[in-house]
Amino acid sequence: MTGRRGVACAGNWILDIVHDISAWPEKSELVRILGQTSGLGGGAANVAANLVAMGANYPVVPIGLIGTDFIGDEVLAHCKAAGLDTARIVQTEAAATSQSHVMNLPGDSRTFFYHPGANDLLSSAHIDVDALAASYLRILYIGYINLLAGLDKTGPNGRPVAADVLADARSAGIMTCIDLVSSHSATYHDTVFGVLPEVDILFLNEVEAARATGLAINGETDDAGMIRAAKALADGGVRRAVIMHSAARVVWMEAGDAMIHVPQKVPAANILSPVGAGDAFAAGVIHGLHEGWSRDAAINLGCRAARACLGAQTATGGLGRDLLHPPPTDQT
C-alpha cells in the first residue's frame, strides 16, 4: 500500500434521534423524554465524521444511500456541518432515509429502534472500487455487516455480495476493514463467516462476537471468552487482525497472538451517552492503521476517541482535533 492515502467509509447512513429518558418503562407504561438530540449515525457516517473531526490529513470518502425526504436533507446538513464530502452519498426515491430512535439512559446504556430504509438498497454498484483504487485510497471500511441487506444477501457464487466488494478492493491493493452490529438475524453467523476471508481488519464487540461464533462470552471482562471467540474468527479467514472491544477490554488478535488492553474506566457521571463509542474507537484505530502506528498507539487513540464520544449526546459530537495534537504515544 506504499503511497496510498485516504479512507473510504461505506455502509450505514442514519439519522439518529437520541432521546434521554429517566428510566426504562415496563410494558404499557409511560416514561418522560428529558431531552432530544439528532445527529449522524451508522458505521460509515460515524467513522467518516470522526476521522474528519480528529483532523485526519488525508482524503475521507463517504459512500452511502439516503432518501430524498426531509430526513435525508437533515443527514446532508449534518454531513455539511461535519465537513464531509457528499459526492458519493446518493439519494434515491425508492426508500426513505434510514433512522434510529435511540433511547438513552444517561450513565447506563442505550437501546435502538431502527428503520432500515435506503440502507437496505445499498449495493455493490454504489461502491466503485475501481474509482477508489484510481484515487490511491489506502483503506476501505464497510459498516455494518448484517445491517445492509443489499450487501449481506447471498450472491450467485454462494457468498455475501459484500465479500465480492471486499475481494475487489483487496485485489486493487486496498486494506479492507469491516464492523459488525448487535442485531438479531438467522443468518448472522453465515454472513459474517462468508465475508471473513476477504477482511484484513475485523472490528466487533463482545456481544457481536458471541452471536457470530456461537461461543459464550460472560460479560465485558471475560478475557478467556473474548480470546476464544477472536481465535475462532481469525481461523474463519480474517487476514490480519480481529479487534474486539467491550467497555472494559480490547482484544487484538493477530498472527495467533492475543494482546489484551484494559482501558481507563470512565465514571458514569461523565457519560452523557454511549451512542457511537464503538465507532469512535474504530475510527481511532483506523487512523493508526492508516499511519502505520504500533498496536499500542492505535489502541490508545481508539480508547481516547471512545472516551471523548461518551461525553457527547450524539455519535460524532465529542471528538476534536485535540486527539491528534500532539500525536498519541504507545503509553495508555
Residue 233: CB atoms within 10 Å: 24
Strands 33-41 and 14-21 come out as antiparallel
Domains of the chain by range and CATH?
Answer: 7-11+42-97+120-323 (3.40.1190.20)
**Can you tell me the mean pLDDT for 93-107?**
92
| Residue 298 grid cell | 492505535
How high is the mean pLDDT of the chain? 94
Q: Give the pLDDT score at 331.
A: 44
pLDDT of 106 strictly over 80: no
Angle (nearest 5°) at CA 242 between 238 and 244? 150
Q: Give the pLDDT score at 60.
A: 98
| Contact (CB, 8 A) for 142 and 134 | no
Lowest-pLDDT choice from 12-21, 179-188, 222-231, 272-281: 272-281
The model's pTM: 0.93
Q: How confident is the model at residue 110 (pLDDT cuts 50, 70, 90)?
A: confident
| Residue 55 grid cell | 483532523
Q: Can you spell out the DSSP letters for 14-45? A: EEEEEEEESSPPPTT----EEEEEEEEESHHH
